[in-house]
Structure 1
Amino acid sequence: MSITMTKQDFGTRPVERRETDNYVREYVEPFVDKWDELIDWDSRAASEGDFFIRVLKERGAKRVLDVATGTGFHSILLREAGFDVVSVDGSAQMLAKAFDNGRKRGHILRTTQADWRELNRDIYGRYDAVVCLGNSFTHLFNENDRRKALAEFYSALNHDGVLILDQRNYDAILDHGYSSTHTFYYCGDNVSVYPEHVDPGLTRFRYAFPDQSVYHLNMYPLRRAYVRRLMREVGFQQIETLGDFKETYHEQEPDFFIHVADKRYTGDPA
Protein backbone atom coordinates (compact mmCIF):
# COMPACT_ATOMS: atom_id res chain seq x y z
CA MET A 1 0.00 0.00 0.00
CA SER A 2 1.44 3.38 -1.00
CA ILE A 3 1.55 6.23 1.49
CA THR A 4 0.94 9.78 0.31
CA MET A 5 3.61 12.11 1.68
CA THR A 6 2.52 15.61 2.67
CA LYS A 7 5.81 17.01 3.98
CA GLN A 8 9.15 17.25 2.21
CA ASP A 9 12.01 15.29 3.75
CA PHE A 10 15.55 16.62 3.46
CA GLY A 11 16.79 15.32 6.78
CA THR A 12 18.43 17.44 9.47
CA ARG A 13 21.06 18.87 7.09
CA PRO A 14 19.25 19.78 3.86
CA VAL A 15 22.29 21.10 1.98
CA GLU A 16 24.00 17.75 2.48
CA ARG A 17 21.15 15.84 0.85
CA ARG A 18 22.67 15.27 -2.59
CA GLU A 19 21.12 12.07 -3.82
CA THR A 20 19.32 11.41 -7.08
CA ASP A 21 16.58 9.38 -5.39
CA ASN A 22 15.61 12.19 -3.01
CA TYR A 23 13.31 13.74 -5.64
CA VAL A 24 10.65 11.25 -4.54
CA ARG A 25 10.59 12.97 -1.12
CA GLU A 26 10.58 16.44 -2.68
CA TYR A 27 7.50 16.23 -4.92
CA VAL A 28 4.99 15.74 -2.13
CA GLU A 29 1.30 16.11 -2.85
CA PRO A 30 0.79 19.68 -1.49
CA PHE A 31 3.75 20.94 -3.58
CA VAL A 32 2.52 19.14 -6.70
CA ASP A 33 -0.92 20.68 -6.20
CA LYS A 34 0.72 24.13 -6.36
CA TRP A 35 2.97 23.37 -9.34
CA ASP A 36 0.58 24.74 -11.94
CA GLU A 37 0.27 27.92 -9.89
CA LEU A 38 4.04 28.24 -10.24
CA ILE A 39 4.08 27.55 -13.97
CA ASP A 40 0.91 29.34 -15.19
CA TRP A 41 0.15 27.33 -18.32
CA ASP A 42 -1.22 30.19 -20.40
CA SER A 43 1.77 32.45 -19.75
CA ARG A 44 4.24 29.65 -20.36
CA ALA A 45 2.56 28.67 -23.63
CA ALA A 46 2.71 32.29 -24.77
CA SER A 47 6.41 32.60 -23.88
CA GLU A 48 7.43 29.36 -25.60
CA GLY A 49 5.28 29.87 -28.69
CA ASP A 50 5.50 26.95 -31.11
CA PHE A 51 9.22 26.31 -30.56
CA PHE A 52 9.04 22.66 -29.56
CA ILE A 53 6.29 21.85 -32.03
CA ARG A 54 8.31 23.45 -34.82
CA VAL A 55 11.53 21.59 -33.94
CA LEU A 56 9.71 18.26 -33.85
CA LYS A 57 7.80 18.84 -37.07
CA GLU A 58 10.96 19.96 -38.89
CA ARG A 59 12.39 16.52 -38.13
CA GLY A 60 9.24 14.67 -39.12
CA ALA A 61 8.66 13.41 -35.58
CA LYS A 62 5.35 11.76 -34.84
CA ARG A 63 5.86 9.57 -31.76
CA VAL A 64 7.15 11.51 -28.73
CA LEU A 65 8.26 10.31 -25.30
CA ASP A 66 7.88 13.03 -22.66
CA VAL A 67 10.18 11.70 -19.91
CA ALA A 68 9.65 14.59 -17.46
CA THR A 69 5.90 15.00 -17.76
CA GLY A 70 5.39 16.82 -14.48
CA THR A 71 1.81 18.04 -14.36
CA GLY A 72 1.39 17.42 -18.08
CA PHE A 73 2.01 20.81 -19.68
CA HIS A 74 4.08 19.68 -22.66
CA SER A 75 2.41 16.29 -23.04
CA ILE A 76 -0.97 17.96 -23.49
CA LEU A 77 0.29 20.71 -25.81
CA LEU A 78 2.08 18.16 -27.99
CA ARG A 79 -1.03 15.96 -28.13
CA GLU A 80 -3.09 18.95 -29.18
CA ALA A 81 -0.53 19.64 -31.93
CA GLY A 82 -1.12 16.15 -33.33
CA PHE A 83 1.78 14.16 -31.85
CA ASP A 84 1.43 10.64 -30.45
CA VAL A 85 2.69 11.16 -26.89
CA VAL A 86 3.60 8.80 -24.06
CA SER A 87 4.06 10.56 -20.71
CA VAL A 88 6.66 9.40 -18.18
CA ASP A 89 7.63 10.69 -14.75
CA GLY A 90 9.37 9.30 -11.71
CA SER A 91 6.83 10.89 -9.37
CA ALA A 92 3.48 9.16 -8.96
CA GLN A 93 2.03 12.41 -7.59
CA MET A 94 3.07 14.30 -10.72
CA LEU A 95 1.60 11.65 -13.02
CA ALA A 96 -1.70 11.67 -11.15
CA LYS A 97 -1.88 15.46 -11.53
CA ALA A 98 -0.94 15.22 -15.22
CA PHE A 99 -3.65 12.64 -15.86
CA ASP A 100 -6.21 14.86 -14.13
CA ASN A 101 -5.07 17.92 -16.10
CA GLY A 102 -5.33 15.95 -19.32
CA ARG A 103 -8.82 14.76 -18.54
CA LYS A 104 -9.95 18.32 -17.80
CA ARG A 105 -8.82 19.25 -21.31
CA GLY A 106 -10.46 16.28 -22.97
CA HIS A 107 -7.41 14.00 -23.19
CA ILE A 108 -6.59 10.62 -21.71
CA LEU A 109 -2.83 10.66 -21.22
CA ARG A 110 -0.89 7.43 -21.55
CA THR A 111 1.25 7.61 -18.43
CA THR A 112 4.09 5.44 -17.14
CA GLN A 113 6.01 5.81 -13.89
CA ALA A 114 9.66 5.08 -14.64
CA ASP A 115 13.18 5.77 -13.45
CA TRP A 116 15.24 7.27 -16.30
CA ARG A 117 18.16 5.04 -15.40
CA GLU A 118 16.02 2.03 -16.33
CA LEU A 119 13.71 3.75 -18.77
CA ASN A 120 13.64 1.11 -21.49
CA ARG A 121 12.57 -1.53 -18.98
CA ASP A 122 9.25 0.26 -18.54
CA ILE A 123 8.46 1.67 -21.99
CA TYR A 124 7.71 -0.11 -25.25
CA GLY A 125 9.00 0.49 -28.74
CA ARG A 126 11.09 3.35 -30.11
CA TYR A 127 10.29 7.04 -30.48
CA ASP A 128 11.00 9.81 -32.96
CA ALA A 129 11.72 12.22 -30.12
CA VAL A 130 12.43 12.26 -26.40
CA VAL A 131 11.74 15.51 -24.55
CA CYS A 132 13.14 16.15 -21.07
CA LEU A 133 11.98 19.62 -20.07
CA GLY A 134 11.35 21.78 -17.03
CA ASN A 135 14.94 21.71 -15.74
CA SER A 136 14.33 18.09 -14.76
CA PHE A 137 17.70 16.58 -15.69
CA THR A 138 19.22 18.57 -12.84
CA HIS A 139 17.71 16.10 -10.34
CA LEU A 140 20.49 13.62 -11.17
CA PHE A 141 23.35 14.12 -8.71
CA ASN A 142 25.65 11.30 -9.77
CA GLU A 143 27.58 11.36 -13.05
CA ASN A 144 26.92 7.67 -13.61
CA ASP A 145 23.19 8.38 -13.22
CA ARG A 146 23.41 11.16 -15.81
CA ARG A 147 25.29 8.97 -18.27
CA LYS A 148 22.88 6.10 -17.74
CA ALA A 149 19.84 8.32 -18.23
CA LEU A 150 21.22 9.85 -21.44
CA ALA A 151 22.10 6.38 -22.73
CA GLU A 152 18.53 5.26 -22.00
CA PHE A 153 17.16 8.31 -23.86
CA TYR A 154 19.45 7.51 -26.79
CA SER A 155 18.33 3.88 -26.85
CA ALA A 156 14.65 4.87 -26.77
CA LEU A 157 15.05 6.84 -30.01
CA ASN A 158 14.73 5.68 -33.59
CA HIS A 159 17.95 5.94 -35.61
CA ASP A 160 17.08 9.48 -36.79
CA GLY A 161 15.48 10.61 -33.53
CA VAL A 162 16.06 13.78 -31.51
CA LEU A 163 16.45 14.54 -27.82
CA ILE A 164 15.33 17.95 -26.53
CA LEU A 165 16.61 18.64 -23.03
CA ASP A 166 16.59 21.91 -21.13
CA GLN A 167 18.34 23.23 -18.03
CA ARG A 168 18.73 26.37 -16.03
CA ASN A 169 21.70 28.58 -16.83
CA TYR A 170 23.73 27.32 -13.88
CA ASP A 171 26.90 28.78 -15.38
CA ALA A 172 25.55 32.26 -14.69
CA ILE A 173 24.33 31.29 -11.21
CA LEU A 174 27.68 29.77 -10.24
CA ASP A 175 29.85 32.47 -11.81
CA HIS A 176 27.82 35.65 -11.35
CA GLY A 177 24.99 34.98 -8.89
CA TYR A 178 21.28 34.45 -9.44
CA SER A 179 19.19 36.68 -11.65
CA SER A 180 15.98 35.79 -13.43
CA THR A 181 13.57 37.71 -15.59
CA HIS A 182 10.90 35.00 -15.09
CA THR A 183 10.09 35.43 -18.78
CA PHE A 184 10.22 31.68 -19.37
CA TYR A 185 9.11 28.61 -17.44
CA TYR A 186 8.14 30.09 -14.08
CA CYS A 187 5.43 32.56 -15.03
CA GLY A 188 3.13 32.45 -12.02
CA ASP A 189 2.22 35.73 -10.34
CA ASN A 190 3.29 36.36 -6.75
CA VAL A 191 5.39 33.19 -6.58
CA SER A 192 8.96 33.67 -5.36
CA VAL A 193 11.67 31.37 -6.72
CA TYR A 194 15.33 31.76 -5.86
CA PRO A 195 18.34 29.66 -4.77
CA GLU A 196 18.96 30.01 -1.05
CA HIS A 197 22.15 27.95 -1.27
CA VAL A 198 24.63 27.57 -4.15
CA ASP A 199 27.89 25.68 -4.37
CA PRO A 200 29.51 23.64 -7.18
CA GLY A 201 27.61 20.51 -6.13
CA LEU A 202 24.19 21.86 -5.13
CA THR A 203 21.67 24.56 -5.91
CA ARG A 204 18.89 24.54 -3.33
CA PHE A 205 15.87 26.44 -4.66
CA ARG A 206 13.21 27.94 -2.41
CA TYR A 207 9.63 28.24 -3.69
CA ALA A 208 7.32 30.56 -1.73
CA PHE A 209 3.61 30.85 -2.54
CA PRO A 210 1.05 33.56 -1.73
CA ASP A 211 -0.50 31.44 1.05
CA GLN A 212 2.87 31.56 2.88
CA SER A 213 3.68 27.93 2.11
CA VAL A 214 7.34 27.24 1.29
CA TYR A 215 8.93 24.28 -0.49
CA HIS A 216 12.44 23.42 -1.67
CA LEU A 217 14.14 21.45 -4.42
CA ASN A 218 17.75 20.29 -4.26
CA MET A 219 19.31 20.34 -7.73
CA TYR A 220 22.71 19.70 -9.23
CA PRO A 221 24.08 22.83 -11.01
CA LEU A 222 24.82 21.46 -14.48
CA ARG A 223 27.16 23.50 -16.62
CA ARG A 224 26.22 23.93 -20.26
CA ALA A 225 29.45 22.56 -21.74
CA TYR A 226 29.36 19.57 -19.40
CA VAL A 227 25.88 18.53 -20.54
CA ARG A 228 26.88 18.88 -24.18
CA ARG A 229 29.97 16.72 -23.58
CA LEU A 230 27.94 13.97 -21.91
CA MET A 231 25.50 13.99 -24.82
CA ARG A 232 28.31 13.52 -27.31
CA GLU A 233 29.92 10.78 -25.24
CA VAL A 234 26.74 8.68 -25.22
CA GLY A 235 26.45 9.01 -29.00
CA PHE A 236 24.50 12.11 -30.02
CA GLN A 237 26.08 13.42 -33.22
CA GLN A 238 24.90 17.00 -33.58
CA ILE A 239 23.92 19.25 -30.68
CA GLU A 240 22.50 22.76 -30.95
CA THR A 241 22.13 24.76 -27.74
CA LEU A 242 19.82 27.75 -27.60
CA GLY A 243 19.45 30.36 -24.88
CA ASP A 244 15.82 31.13 -24.03
CA PHE A 245 14.86 29.81 -27.49
CA LYS A 246 17.37 32.04 -29.28
CA GLU A 247 20.29 30.79 -31.38
CA THR A 248 22.45 33.83 -30.56
CA TYR A 249 22.96 34.97 -26.98
CA HIS A 250 25.53 36.08 -24.44
CA GLU A 251 26.36 33.25 -22.04
CA GLN A 252 25.20 35.14 -18.95
CA GLU A 253 21.84 36.34 -20.33
CA PRO A 254 19.54 33.31 -20.73
CA ASP A 255 17.55 31.91 -17.82
CA PHE A 256 17.49 28.54 -19.57
CA PHE A 257 19.45 26.57 -22.15
CA ILE A 258 17.69 24.19 -24.56
CA HIS A 259 19.80 21.41 -26.07
CA VAL A 260 18.55 19.87 -29.32
CA ALA A 261 20.57 16.69 -29.87
CA ASP A 262 20.22 14.59 -33.03
CA LYS A 263 20.92 10.87 -32.94
CA ARG A 264 21.38 10.61 -36.70
CA TYR A 265 24.98 10.33 -37.86
CA THR A 266 26.16 13.42 -39.71
CA GLY A 267 26.64 11.43 -42.89
CA ASP A 268 23.25 9.74 -42.81
CA PRO A 269 20.82 10.59 -45.61
CA ALA A 270 17.78 12.57 -44.57
Structure 2
Amino acid sequence: MNSAESLHRFYSGFAGKYDLFMPWDQRIRRERRFFKYVLDANNVSSVLDCFCGTGFHVDMLSDMGYDVEGIDISPDMVGKAKENLKTKGYDSRVQQGDVKALENKKKYDCVLSMGNSLPHEFGDDNILRALKGMYGALNEGGTCVIHMENFDRLYEDREPFIPSMHRRDGRGTDTFIFAIEYYEKKVVFNILSVIERGGLPEFAVDTVEYYPLKTGRLRELLAEAGFQDIRSYEDFKMSPQGKEGTYDIIMVAKKQ
Protein backbone atom coordinates (compact mmCIF):
# COMPACT_ATOMS: atom_id res chain seq x y z
CA MET A 1 0.00 0.00 0.00
CA ASN A 2 1.44 3.39 -0.98
CA SER A 3 1.35 6.47 1.27
CA ALA A 4 -1.70 7.99 -0.46
CA GLU A 5 -3.71 4.77 -0.07
CA SER A 6 -2.58 4.49 3.56
CA LEU A 7 -3.66 8.07 4.24
CA HIS A 8 -7.10 7.59 2.69
CA ARG A 9 -7.57 4.38 4.63
CA PHE A 10 -6.63 6.09 7.91
CA TYR A 11 -8.99 9.02 7.49
CA SER A 12 -11.83 6.85 6.24
CA GLY A 13 -11.84 5.28 9.70
CA PHE A 14 -10.76 8.26 11.77
CA ALA A 15 -12.68 11.23 10.34
CA GLY A 16 -15.60 10.67 12.71
CA LYS A 17 -13.29 10.59 15.76
CA TYR A 18 -10.96 13.45 14.83
CA ASP A 19 -12.93 16.19 16.58
CA LEU A 20 -13.23 14.12 19.75
CA PHE A 21 -9.51 14.29 20.53
CA MET A 22 -9.13 17.83 19.16
CA PRO A 23 -12.18 19.67 20.59
CA TRP A 24 -12.91 22.93 18.81
CA ASP A 25 -13.48 24.99 21.97
CA GLN A 26 -9.99 24.16 23.26
CA ARG A 27 -8.43 24.93 19.88
CA ILE A 28 -10.20 28.29 19.68
CA ARG A 29 -8.82 29.31 23.08
CA ARG A 30 -5.34 28.21 22.02
CA GLU A 31 -5.21 29.62 18.47
CA ARG A 32 -7.62 32.54 18.04
CA ARG A 33 -5.36 35.28 19.42
CA PHE A 34 -2.42 34.03 17.33
CA PHE A 35 -4.40 34.18 14.10
CA LYS A 36 -5.94 37.54 14.93
CA TYR A 37 -2.46 39.02 15.38
CA VAL A 38 -0.76 37.36 12.40
CA LEU A 39 -3.56 37.89 9.87
CA ASP A 40 -4.28 41.48 10.83
CA ALA A 41 -0.57 42.38 10.98
CA ASN A 42 -0.24 41.10 7.40
CA ASN A 43 -3.44 42.74 6.07
CA VAL A 44 -5.08 39.39 5.35
CA SER A 45 -8.70 39.25 4.23
CA SER A 46 -8.80 35.97 2.26
CA VAL A 47 -7.50 32.57 3.42
CA LEU A 48 -7.09 29.11 1.89
CA ASP A 49 -6.71 26.23 4.34
CA CYS A 50 -4.82 23.73 2.19
CA PHE A 51 -5.41 20.74 4.51
CA CYS A 52 -8.75 21.75 6.00
CA GLY A 53 -9.55 18.48 7.78
CA THR A 54 -12.92 18.66 9.53
CA GLY A 55 -13.27 22.39 8.90
CA PHE A 56 -12.09 23.92 12.17
CA HIS A 57 -10.07 26.80 10.70
CA VAL A 58 -12.67 27.50 8.02
CA ASP A 59 -15.22 27.87 10.81
CA MET A 60 -13.13 29.85 13.28
CA LEU A 61 -11.61 32.26 10.78
CA SER A 62 -14.94 32.79 8.99
CA ASP A 63 -16.50 33.66 12.33
CA MET A 64 -13.65 36.14 12.85
CA GLY A 65 -14.61 37.93 9.63
CA TYR A 66 -12.13 36.53 7.11
CA ASP A 67 -13.07 35.13 3.69
CA VAL A 68 -12.02 31.50 4.07
CA GLU A 69 -12.04 28.43 1.83
CA GLY A 70 -10.65 24.96 2.45
CA ILE A 71 -9.46 21.94 0.50
CA ASP A 72 -8.44 18.49 1.66
CA ILE A 73 -7.31 15.42 -0.25
CA SER A 74 -9.42 13.09 1.94
CA PRO A 75 -13.06 12.78 0.82
CA ASP A 76 -13.97 11.54 4.29
CA MET A 77 -12.51 14.62 5.99
CA VAL A 78 -14.21 16.92 3.47
CA GLY A 79 -17.49 15.14 4.12
CA LYS A 80 -17.08 15.63 7.86
CA ALA A 81 -16.13 19.28 7.32
CA LYS A 82 -19.25 19.90 5.26
CA GLU A 83 -21.32 18.25 7.99
CA ASN A 84 -19.68 20.41 10.68
CA LEU A 85 -20.05 23.63 8.70
CA LYS A 86 -23.55 23.14 7.32
CA THR A 87 -25.42 24.74 10.22
CA LYS A 88 -23.50 28.00 9.65
CA GLY A 89 -23.78 27.93 5.89
CA TYR A 90 -20.05 27.49 5.40
CA ASP A 91 -20.25 23.98 3.91
CA SER A 92 -19.88 25.19 0.32
CA ARG A 93 -16.49 26.69 1.23
CA VAL A 94 -14.73 23.30 1.43
CA GLN A 95 -13.90 21.01 -1.47
CA GLN A 96 -11.79 17.95 -2.13
CA GLY A 97 -8.46 18.92 -3.65
CA ASP A 98 -4.71 18.34 -3.61
CA VAL A 99 -2.48 21.30 -2.77
CA LYS A 100 0.16 19.84 -5.10
CA ALA A 101 -2.25 20.21 -8.03
CA LEU A 102 -3.71 23.67 -7.43
CA GLU A 103 -4.48 25.43 -10.70
CA ASN A 104 -3.86 28.82 -9.08
CA LYS A 105 -6.87 30.40 -10.73
CA LYS A 106 -7.76 32.15 -7.48
CA LYS A 107 -5.31 33.93 -5.21
CA TYR A 108 -5.46 34.42 -1.46
CA ASP A 109 -3.80 36.66 1.10
CA CYS A 110 -2.92 33.70 3.32
CA VAL A 111 -2.49 29.93 2.99
CA LEU A 112 -2.50 27.48 5.90
CA SER A 113 -1.18 24.01 6.65
CA MET A 114 -2.20 23.17 10.21
CA GLY A 115 -2.25 20.20 12.57
CA ASN A 116 0.78 18.27 11.28
CA SER A 117 -0.80 17.98 7.83
CA LEU A 118 2.20 18.84 5.65
CA PRO A 119 4.22 15.78 6.79
CA HIS A 120 1.51 13.57 5.26
CA GLU A 121 3.42 14.37 2.07
CA PHE A 122 6.27 11.85 1.85
CA GLY A 123 9.68 12.90 0.59
CA ASP A 124 11.27 16.27 -0.03
CA ASP A 125 9.98 16.31 -3.62
CA ASN A 126 6.34 16.06 -2.53
CA ILE A 127 6.86 18.55 0.30
CA LEU A 128 8.36 21.01 -2.20
CA ARG A 129 5.48 20.46 -4.65
CA ALA A 130 3.00 21.20 -1.86
CA LEU A 131 4.88 24.35 -0.82
CA LYS A 132 5.05 25.52 -4.43
CA GLY A 133 1.30 24.94 -4.70
CA MET A 134 0.77 27.07 -1.62
CA TYR A 135 3.13 29.74 -2.93
CA GLY A 136 1.32 29.86 -6.26
CA ALA A 137 -2.04 30.31 -4.54
CA LEU A 138 -0.87 33.47 -2.76
CA ASN A 139 -1.23 37.08 -3.76
CA GLU A 140 1.99 39.07 -3.87
CA GLY A 141 2.96 39.89 -0.29
CA GLY A 142 0.84 36.97 0.95
CA THR A 143 1.46 35.00 4.15
CA CYS A 144 1.97 31.27 4.70
CA VAL A 145 1.37 29.64 8.10
CA ILE A 146 2.53 26.07 8.75
CA HIS A 147 2.02 24.15 11.99
CA MET A 148 3.43 20.67 12.55
CA GLU A 149 5.20 18.41 15.01
CA ASN A 150 8.75 19.29 15.99
CA PHE A 151 10.35 16.14 14.63
CA ASP A 152 13.80 17.29 15.74
CA ARG A 153 12.59 17.17 19.34
CA LEU A 154 10.59 13.97 18.87
CA TYR A 155 13.59 12.13 17.43
CA GLU A 156 15.88 13.54 20.10
CA ASP A 157 13.64 12.28 22.92
CA ARG A 158 12.22 9.22 21.12
CA GLU A 159 9.37 9.09 23.57
CA PRO A 160 7.22 6.04 22.82
CA PHE A 161 4.13 7.90 24.04
CA ILE A 162 3.04 11.52 23.77
CA PRO A 163 0.48 13.11 26.10
CA SER A 164 -2.82 11.33 25.68
CA MET A 165 -6.33 12.67 26.00
CA HIS A 166 -9.10 11.63 28.38
CA ARG A 167 -12.39 13.46 28.66
CA ARG A 168 -15.68 12.69 30.37
CA ASP A 169 -18.88 14.66 29.76
CA GLY A 170 -22.61 14.10 29.59
CA ARG A 171 -22.31 12.05 26.41
CA GLY A 172 -19.79 9.57 27.78
CA THR A 173 -16.02 9.11 27.90
CA ASP A 174 -13.38 9.60 25.22
CA THR A 175 -9.85 8.27 25.67
CA PHE A 176 -7.00 8.42 23.15
CA ILE A 177 -3.54 6.93 23.70
CA PHE A 178 -0.74 7.69 21.23
CA ALA A 179 2.12 5.21 20.74
CA ILE A 180 4.93 6.24 18.40
CA GLU A 181 7.38 4.17 16.37
CA TYR A 182 10.50 5.90 15.01
CA TYR A 183 12.19 4.93 11.75
CA GLU A 184 14.75 6.63 9.54
CA LYS A 185 12.30 7.77 6.86
CA LYS A 186 8.96 7.64 8.62
CA VAL A 187 7.34 7.97 12.01
CA VAL A 188 4.27 5.90 12.82
CA PHE A 189 1.53 7.09 15.16
CA ASN A 190 -0.64 4.30 16.57
CA ILE A 191 -3.79 5.78 18.09
CA LEU A 192 -5.75 3.62 20.53
CA SER A 193 -9.21 5.05 21.08
CA VAL A 194 -11.83 4.07 23.62
CA ILE A 195 -15.15 5.80 22.92
CA GLU A 196 -17.84 5.06 25.52
CA ARG A 197 -21.46 6.00 24.96
CA GLY A 198 -24.31 4.74 27.14
CA GLY A 199 -21.93 2.54 29.10
CA LEU A 200 -20.81 0.68 25.98
CA PRO A 201 -17.13 1.22 25.08
CA GLU A 202 -15.83 0.83 21.52
CA PHE A 203 -12.13 0.09 21.08
CA ALA A 204 -10.12 0.82 17.93
CA VAL A 205 -6.52 1.23 16.81
CA ASP A 206 -5.83 3.58 13.91
CA THR A 207 -2.36 3.93 12.39
CA VAL A 208 -0.99 6.86 10.41
CA GLU A 209 2.49 7.49 9.01
CA TYR A 210 4.29 10.83 8.70
CA TYR A 211 7.40 11.97 6.91
CA PRO A 212 9.78 13.14 9.70
CA LEU A 213 10.42 16.57 8.21
CA LYS A 214 13.04 18.39 10.27
CA THR A 215 12.72 22.10 10.98
CA GLY A 216 15.90 23.11 9.17
CA ARG A 217 14.90 21.17 6.07
CA LEU A 218 11.43 22.74 6.08
CA ARG A 219 13.06 26.16 6.17
CA GLU A 220 15.25 25.22 3.19
CA LEU A 221 12.28 23.92 1.20
CA LEU A 222 10.24 27.03 1.98
CA ALA A 223 13.05 29.16 0.60
CA GLU A 224 13.38 26.91 -2.46
CA ALA A 225 9.65 27.34 -3.10
CA GLY A 226 10.18 31.10 -3.10
CA PHE A 227 9.20 32.12 0.42
CA GLN A 228 11.13 34.78 2.33
CA ASP A 229 11.14 36.30 5.83
CA ILE A 230 10.69 32.84 7.39
CA ARG A 231 10.04 32.95 11.14
CA SER A 232 9.58 29.99 13.48
CA TYR A 233 7.81 29.68 16.83
CA GLU A 234 7.22 26.86 19.26
CA ASP A 235 3.68 27.69 20.35
CA PHE A 236 0.69 29.87 19.55
CA LYS A 237 1.95 32.48 22.01
CA MET A 238 4.68 33.08 19.40
CA SER A 239 7.51 32.05 21.70
CA PRO A 240 10.77 31.81 19.74
CA GLN A 241 11.68 28.30 18.66
CA GLY A 242 13.83 26.61 21.30
CA LYS A 243 12.69 28.63 24.30
CA GLU A 244 10.98 25.70 26.04
CA GLY A 245 11.63 22.93 23.54
CA THR A 246 8.01 22.01 22.80
CA TYR A 247 6.81 19.40 20.33
CA ASP A 248 5.22 22.10 18.12
CA ILE A 249 6.68 24.15 15.30
CA ILE A 250 4.84 27.07 13.70
CA MET A 251 6.42 28.78 10.70
CA VAL A 252 5.23 32.04 9.19
CA ALA A 253 6.66 33.02 5.80
CA LYS A 254 6.01 35.63 3.12
CA LYS A 255 5.64 35.73 -0.65
CA GLN A 256 7.52 38.90 -1.65
**Shared fold (TM-score, shorter chain, > 0.5):** yes
Letter in 1 for 2:43: G
Q: Does 1:42 align with 2:25?
A: yes
Q: Which residue of 114, 132, 138 corresponds with 1:151?
A: 132
In the alignment, which residue of structure 1 is the partner of 2:51?
68
Q: What CA distance in whole angstroms lies between the structure 2 residues aligned with 1:259 and 1:102?
A: 27
Q: Indicate conservation of the 8 Å contact 1:206/1:217, yes or no.
A: yes
Shift, 1:87, TM fit: 1.0
Q: Which of 200, 208, 217 is the aligned partner of 2:208?
A: 217
Worse-superposed segment, 104-113 or 197-206: 104-113
Asked if residue 226 in structure 1 is aligned to residue 217 in structure 2, the reply is yes
Q: Does the alignment pair 1:235 with 2:216?
A: no
Q: Which amino acid aligns with 2:124?
A: E
The structural deviation recorded for 1:252 is 6.8
**Which residue does 1:101 correspond to in 2?**
84
Superposed CA deviations along residues 195-249 of structure 1, whole A, max 9, x for unmatched, are 4311121111011212321111111111111101100111111111000123335
User: In structure 2, how many angstroms separate the alpha carbons of the residues matched to 1:50 and 1:237?
Assistant: 24
Shift of 1:105: 4.0
Whose strand fraction is larger, Structure 1's or Structure 2's?
2
**Alignment-derived partner of residue 115 in structure 1:** 98
Question: How much identity, in percent, do the aligned residues show?
Answer: 29
CA shift at 1:32, angstroms? 0.6
Matched residue SS, 2:100 = helix
Q: Distance in 1 between matches of 2:175 and 2:119?
A: 21
Partner secondary structure for residue 205 of structure 1: strand
Equivalent position of 2:183 in the other structure: 199
Pairwise CA distance, 1:38:
1.4
SS in 1 for 2:147: strand
Report the counterpart of residue 250 of structure 1 in structure 2. 242
SS at match of 2:91: coil
- The aligned amino acid for 1:77 is M
Equivalent pairs counted in the alignment come to 241
| TM-score, structure 1 normalization | 0.83
Runs of 5+ consecutive residues of structure 1 not aligned to the other structure? 1-10, 12-16, 265-270
Q: CA deviation at 1:41?
A: 1.0
TM-score (norm: length of structure 2)? 0.87
Q: Deviations over 1:82-108 (max 9, x none)?
A: 111111000111111101101134533
Does the aligned pair in 2 maintain the 1:87–1:109 contact within 8 Å?
no
Aligned residue number for residue 133 of structure 1 = 114
User: Take 2:166 and 2:74, find their aligned partners in 1: how far apart are those partners?
Assistant: 22
How far residue 21 of structure 1 moved from its aligned partner, in angstroms, is: 5.1
* Cα distance in 2 between the residues matched to 1:208 and 1:221: 21
Q: Any idea what the Cα deviations from partners look like across 1:44-99, whole Å, max 9, x if unmatched?
A: 22222421232111111111001111001111000000111111000111111101
CA contact (8 A) 2:71 2:78 kept: yes
- Report the CA distance shift for 1:201/1:262 in structure 2 as closer, same or farther (over 3 A): same
The corresponding residue for 1:14 is: none
Are 1:191 and 1:207, in contact at CA under 8 Å, matched by a contact in 2? no
* 1:82 corresponds to 2:82: no
Contact 2:232 2:240 (8 Å CA) reproduced: no
Which amino acid counterpart does residue 172 of structure 1 have in structure 2?
R
CA 35–191 in structure 1, closer or farther in 2 if over 3 Å, else same: same
Taking the aligned partners of 2:39 and 2:25, their CA distance within structure 1 comes to 21
Amino acid in structure 2 at the alignment position of 1:163? C
Q: Secondary structure at the match of 2:105?
A: coil
